[in-house]
Amino acid sequence: MKVRNLLFLFTCILFATVGNAQTKQSFLKYVDPYIGTGGHGHTFMGASVPYGAVQVGPNNINKGWDWCSGYYYADSVCVGFAQTHLSGTGIGDLGDVLIMPFTGAPRTDRGTQTVLGYSSKYKHKNETVSPEYYSLKLDNGVKVELTATERVAFHKYTFPANEQENIIIDLSEGNQDRSTDTYLKLVDDHTILGYRFSSGWAKNQQLWFAIKSSVSLKDLKLFNANEARPGTELKDKKVKGLISFAKPQGTVSFKVGISPVSSENALANINAEIPAWDFAAVVNQAKAKWEKELSKVAVETSDLAHKRTFYTALYHTMIDPALFNDHDGSYRGTDKKVYPNPGFNNYSEFSLWDIYRSTAPLSTIIHQDRVKDFINSLLVAYQQQGKLPIWPLMGNETDCMVGYSAVPVIVDAYLKGYKGFDVNLAYEALIKSSTRDDYGMKYIKEKGYIPADKEYESVSKAMEYAIDDWCIAQMAKKLGKTADYQEYTKRAGYYKNYFDESIKFVRPKMSDGSWKTPYDPLKSIHGKGDFTEGNGWQYTWLVPQDVEGLIALMGGDKGFIDKFDEFFKVTGDMGAEASSDISGLIGMYAHGNEPSHPMTYMYAFAGVQWKTAEKVRQVMREFYTDKIDGLAGNEDCGAMSSWYIMSSMGFYPCNPASGIYVMGSPLFDKVKIDVGGGKFFTTTVINNSSKNIYIQSMELNGVKYDKSFIKHNDVMKGGNLKITMGDKPNYNFGKLAVNRPKSQIE
């Protein structure tokens, strides 16, 4: 009897276990890292963990813009596997500590696309790709497998039989940068320490590393460029280390730790994060980390292509910003001083001009545990360099792009009630960063506009400053700083100083107050012109902080809608010098560049939310796919993908810091968002289809909801939003002024 009871109990447990295994979703299987590695997406290919310091993956020979991440799908020559990579940027850098296994005669020269050195041809059919694991069998016969923890890359090389086995560590190689000081030292038969200093986009990048080998490295020989040097230690500009094994090893594994502080810290990172040699265990740990983060949003749809696009997009938003500290918490600041554990995780690689629009707001919904670390990382950079970062990269300020775009990120977090950072320090940083004299700000203070004959890209800079100043005004208001609130509210309206009522466009203005002539709003001259990666058509609508004000300038709802409709239809020659970032065009709307991203949602402010629905669905349909070239432009560290994530869920933060999400056209039948604390916000979409793109009605927690927006606080409370769709517009949805989104915070 006892035996029968035990068998019955065992059977119940077995079936329960099997049942749980079947019902537990895997989200990682929908991620395809190939998406965005073709076209102009510039996305990272390789292995990593969410927001890790290490992104280990393959590098091609760099041939320009489309190789910004180091890897481009159309290529077929691999020069090695580097430990750091950018994802989706329009400028290349990193690609540090390149390691390449190869067979045949020992070589130290990389070679070319046609005459190979230590590099090798490869075929995509021999690649296996997933966020936590990358594998490639090179044409030279070596199988390379990669995985990672936060600060350590794990390499596994399996050599073919009866071939000379070699591994090169090439510190001269980077991705569009140049090495300035490099160092290698064989500490013992299984340990190498070193560093690579370089100059590129990051002008003074300093990276230390350590390598632990599963086999003896006693055959290591050192070179500067291709010139052999004696000894076991070498410091020069282009140091390389070559291991040509005297006896076959078969399989060789490397653990490569990186550090912004020292080689010793890099070694400590290895000991802390991968103490053993169990490659499969590290793969499984990385897989679990990705599954945990991806599971924060569960979407239901019968369209697997949409599901792949969504979860790949979600993955792309979690590559950057990247950790920039050691396992013990220490990091090197922008002042190049070492800071011991500050009590938070320090991050770098904030593409702020891009991510403030929707990537950072998305983090306030699904990555609440990281928000304070992101904000503190921006604030310590302010303390070290005297201004909030513009585009921080590996302890460097690149000053890339316009505006002081850390401001919306900080203010949005503050207004949403995030704690864990010094509010007074944050406010001080906002004020000081917005009252400098460089990049045209001197003229903002003196004239209320930036003269085109004094500053390049004057209109774009001022339009971005107005958005940032609006955010500062809201924080001042919340803190009771009335004078600052009034001053920054005035500055937020300076965009009107560029609006020419006679033509209904923003346009550059000269020092004497006259309009710059001649002027064609179609023309776009980036760098030496009046706009940043855009033209007058595009920047006229860059007023997410005051859409009502822009509507008034256009003559009211009808004038705004008519002009906006034209925006999505007009075509023409933008000039030979038009920025390559102006891509993903619908008329002059350029979805391949972030300033356009909030614009489709601006129709709702004029009471025609159904037009927003049309345009949002068109953008999702035409510019996001599960193909290799499935992005309309540079990914920009998650910016392009976060638009899709928010929009496909049904809402988007047109204003980056108002806490208001404008309704669009939900793509999925059901979306369940984990908002923390055991709460979930669920949208259920009735009659959803590719034709039924218009919202007919909504219910929030069982109560009729007529507004064409939803507040962040309502999302974070958890609950249920029921959305009924149809194939024809409900012209009354969101039409009344009381039901429209508002720019001003109540």
Measured CA to CA in angstroms, residue 419 lies from 220, 371, 413, 451 at distances of: 51, 9, 8, 40
Close Cβ partners of 600 (under 8 Å, ≥ 6 residues apart): 589, 612, 615, 616, 619, 664
pLDDT in the model for residue 2: 42
**Predicted confidence (pLDDT) at residue 26 exceeds the cutoff of 80:** yes
* Percent helix, percent strand, percent coil in the chain, to nearest 5: 30, 25, 45
Residue 454, Cβ neighbours under 10 Å: how many? 13
Spatial distance between the Cα atoms of 310 and 672, rounded to a whole number of angstroms: 13
Confidence of residue 1 (pLDDT cuts 50, 70, 90): very low
E strand map for 570-639:
585-586, 589-590
**Predicted confidence (pLDDT) at residue 304 exceeds the cutoff of 70:** yes
Spatial distance between the Cα atoms of 81 and 122, rounded to a whole number of angstroms: 13
Q: Which two tokens stand for residue 620?
A: 């999702």
- H/E stretch holding 211 reads strand 205-213
Stretch 447-465: mean pLDDT: 97
* Angle in degrees, 0-180, between the axes of helices 304-316 and 279-294, rounded to the nearest 10: 110
- Regarding beta strands 719-726 and 679-686, do their DSSP bridges make them parallel or antiparallel, or are they unpaired? parallel
Convert 60-126 into a string of H (helix), E (strand) and C (coil).
Answer: CCCCCHHHCCCCCCCCCEECEEECCCCCCCCCCCCCCCEEEEEECCCCCCCECCCCECCCEECCHHH
Complete domains list, the chain, with CATH: 33-293 (2.70.98.10), 330-433 (1.20.1050.60)
Task: Give the model confidence (pLDDT) of 525-557 as tens digits.
Answer: 656 789 999 999 999 999 999 999 999 999 999
**Predicted confidence (pLDDT) at residue 403 exceeds the cutoff of 50:** yes
Stretch 691-718: mean pLDDT: 98
pLDDT in the model for residue 4: 40
Task: Give the model confidence (pLDDT) of 600-641 as tens digits.
Answer: 999 999 999 999 999 999 999 999 999 999 999 999 999 999
Q: What are the b/e assignments for 121-146, b being 16+ CB within 10 Å? A: ebeeeebebbbbbbbbbbebbbbbbb
Bridge partners of 179, per DSSP, are 198
**Predicted confidence (pLDDT) at residue 34 exceeds the cutoff of 90:** yes
**Predicted confidence (pLDDT) at residue 581 exceeds the cutoff of 90:** no
* Alpha-helical regions (H) of 317-436: 352-355, 359-366, 368-385, 406-415, 423-433
DSSP character for 299? E
Are 572 and 582 a contacting pair, CB within 8 Å?
no
Close Cβ partners of 651 (under 8 Å, ≥ 6 residues apart): 661, 662, 663, 664, 709, 710
**Predicted confidence (pLDDT) at residue 195 exceeds the cutoff of 90:** yes
Spatial distance between the Cα atoms of 124 and 118, rounded to a whole number of angstroms: 19
**Predicted confidence (pLDDT) at residue 10 exceeds the cutoff of 50:** no
Q: Which two tokens stand for residue 67?
A: 């190789």
Spatial distance between the Cα atoms of 52 and 697, rounded to a whole number of angstroms: 42
E strand map for 396-479:
396-397
Are 633 and 591 a contacting pair, CB within 8 Å?
yes
Are 539 and 533 a contacting pair, CB within 8 Å?
no
Stretch 369-376: mean pLDDT: 98
Spatial distance between the Cα atoms of 51 and 323, rounded to a whole number of angstroms: 6
> Is 579 or 566 the better-scoring residue by pLDDT?
566
Are 652 and 646 a contacting pair, CB within 8 Å?
yes
Are 386 and 432 a contacting pair, CB within 8 Å?
yes
Confidence of residue 17 (pLDDT cuts 50, 70, 90): very low
How far the first Cα of the chain sits from its last, in Å, is 70
Task: Give the model confidence (pLDDT) of 157-184 as tens digits.
Answer: 999 999 999 999 999 999 999 999 999 9
Q: Is 665 exposed, middle or buried (0-12, 13-18, 19+ CB in 10 A)?
A: buried
| Total number of residues shown for the chain | 746
Looking at every residue in the chain, the average pLDDT score rounds to 95
Spatial distance between the Cα atoms of 350 and 346, rounded to a whole number of angstroms: 11
Task: Give the model confidence (pLDDT) of 121-159 as tens digits.
Answer: 999 999 999 999 999 999 999 999 999 999 999 999 999
- Regarding beta strands 205-213 and 251-259, do their DSSP bridges make them parallel or antiparallel, or are they unpaired? antiparallel
Sign of CA dihedral 269, 274, 279, 280: negative
pLDDT in the model for residue 441: 97
pLDDT in the model for residue 9: 44
